[in-house]
Amino acid sequence: MVGLRVLDYVLPPEPLNKIQSNYVYLLDEMDVSSGLLGRLFNDGVLKVDERTEIDVPKLPRKRCEKLLSVLRRKTLKQYEIFLGALEATHQKHVADVLRLEGSFSIFVMKNNYGSRTPVIYKLFRFTHRA
């Protein structure tokens, strides 16, 4: 393993915490039927057996749970590819939530037209990186 850094094969705590703290939001908002899985497979983030495991459940929410479980075992680079895949499949709002720095709570509010919009309700321990 010459030349490999820890970040090359372990997802650091920050992205793991983002997934955990936004878990329900991700289950509600992430669309795995949008071509996201195909893109992740094509980009080498998902292996054949992982893709198959994610495709087994029929309910979209269960498929999201499987994908999030698999993502926890990926590298930082693969996580960043995942964020790009979200944007490429018209889910930038989901990627944006995962890119926000600091700890926060997100509530999804329904507007008069029936669409759901993520709203950052409260910021805690917001950190600025120079």
For 54-107, what is each residue's pLDDT tens digit?
Answer: 999 999 999 999 999 999 999 999 999 999 999 999 999 999 999 986 544 444
Residue 4 has pLDDT above 50, yes or no: no
For 17-58, what is each residue's pLDDT tens digit?
Answer: 999 999 999 999 999 999 999 999 999 999 999 999 999 999
Distance CA 108, CA 76 (A): 27
Each domain of the chain, given as residue ranges in start order, spans: 7-99
Q: Residue count of the chain, please give it.
A: 130
Which residue has tokens 């039927």? 33
Q: How confident is the model at residue 129 (pLDDT cuts 50, 70, 90)?
A: very low
The answer to whether 34 and 91 are in contact (CB under 8 A) is yes
Residue of 117 and 66 predicted with greater confidence? 66
The CATH architecture of the domain made up of 7-99 is Orthogonal Bundle (1.10)
